[in-house]
Amino acid sequence: MGLTTAGVAAVTTAPGLTACGGDSSGSDGDTTLKVVAADYGDSTANSSQKYWNKLARAFEAKNSGIKVEVKVYSWTEVDRRVADMVKSGQAPDIAQIGAYADYAAQGKLYRADEMLAIPTQAGFITSIAQAGEVRRVQYGVPFVASARLLFYNKKLFDQAGISSAPTSWDELKEAAARLKASGVKIPYALPLGPEECQAETMMWMLSGGGGYTDTNGSYTIDSSENIETFEWLRDELVGADLTGPGSPARTNRQDAFDAFTRGEVGMLNGHPTLMQQASGHGISYGTAPLPGRRGKSPSTMGVADWLMAFKQHGHRTQIGKFLDFVYTEKNVLDFVTEYDLLPVTTAVEQTMLGDREYKRLWRFLDELESAEFYPVDKTSWAEVSKLIKQKIGSTVAKGGDPTSVLGQIQREADAMENAGA
């Protein structure tokens, strides 16, 4: 799952991506690295293929004997493309996709410390690097990151007489009520539809003092904190008619973003891409940390996309050289600047914090340090995420039963864990 999208399309084969089975693992003699990556652009003009092509040519110029072929696919198909290639015995050398745990559990990936130079491995932001670990061993190498903040429409806030962003749930409810009274169509947009409701769910769980897992990594989906969070949403926001005319269970994240860019939404949780979308439509907006149960949320949600390297063709040394090049400061900065994303390396984070050109991202960078990530180290997470998409919206409907729904998801998640899913 990408930083801004969720879901995958049907399986299709990947023509022209057969790996070079004849390449030896030892020397740099004559190796071609096959790389599959996700597209962060929204048009041909800003396709990630351009970035990777330029990067590959620059690397080849400095490393004779190693060729790099990169194929970029949209987020709706890239995970399936890679899965298909692995299944057919033609794994890429490197994949830049949304999840790594299944491949790590199957023993198909190199460990990060088998590939990366020590300065490269030490250069990642700690909270993000730890999210790439399975049983304390790093297999997922973070590529880019994102964090979430509360966005609010400054014009609508002014019209409703609201002077500052809410810092607690009570203040959020009060602000939503004032927005509604001033005629705002959607005071708070609550996208619990199937597109990306696992994100909205996690943000609210965190702001209520809960989360998907505990510090030991065990699922805590039906914790008392999480149940109370969804009871509050059901009674205080949705039940008070403060989330607009549509059902949250049928409201997708992009629907909410689109409504925000039309000036119909007072507040919603968003990621950096929404800044570009809002500015492009002339919306004057502000950002603030997520409100929590009794004040600022203890943490926000972070999302990372991952690089991983497959062992199949034995190109460990060559892969390591290329990845060390990928993570040089210039190359990381070029990519995150192009797409308004957050860096995964401390050096680039510090560069951006010291340059006013990136001021719009500073608050996101501040939140990234304490961000919590999806439990992507669990092979069960993909299926648990599907369950959340199917069921979570019903918790906030009139008569919804968070205790029952969260309990059901918890039981199924535990069963998957126990079965080694």
CB 97 within 8 A of CB 38: yes
Task: Report d(CA 147, CA 248) in Å as an integer.
Answer: 22
Task: Report d(CA 309, CA 113) in Å as an integer.
Answer: 12
pLDDT tens, residue order, the chain (421 aa): 466 433 322 222 232 332 333 333 444 458 999 999 999 987 788 899 999 999 999 999 999 999 999 999 998 899 999 999 999 999 999 999 988 999 999 999 999 999 999 999 999 998 899 889 988 899 999 999 999 999 999 999 999 999 999 999 999 999 999 999 999 999 999 999 998 899 999 999 999 999 999 988 899 999 999 999 999 999 999 999 999 999 999 999 999 999 999 999 999 999 998 998 999 999 999 999 999 999 999 999 999 999 999 999 999 999 999 999 999 999 999 999 998 899 999 999 999 999 999 999 999 999 988 899 999 889 899 899 999 999 999 999 999 999 999 999 999 999 999 887 4
CATH match of 31-147+303-372 with 1.20.1250.20: no
Residue 151: C-alpha distances to residues 11, 123, 184, 218 (Å): 36, 30, 15, 31
The segment(s) of the chain belonging to CATH 3.40.190.10 are: 31-147+303-372, 149-300+376-420
Q: What six digits make up the tokens of 116? A: 């990366």
Task: Report d(CA 384, CA 391) in Å as an integer.
Answer: 11
CB 242 within 8 A of CB 187: yes
Task: Report d(CA 388, CA 369) in Å as an integer.
Answer: 26
9-20 burial code (b ≥16 CB/10 A, e <16): eeeeebeebebb
Q: Report the CATH superfamily, name and number, of domain 149-300+376-420.
A: Periplasmic binding protein-like II (3.40.190.10)
CB 222 within 8 A of CB 280: no
Helix, strand, or coil (residue 366): helix
Residue 161: C-alpha distances to residues 182, 204, 398 (Å): 9, 26, 30
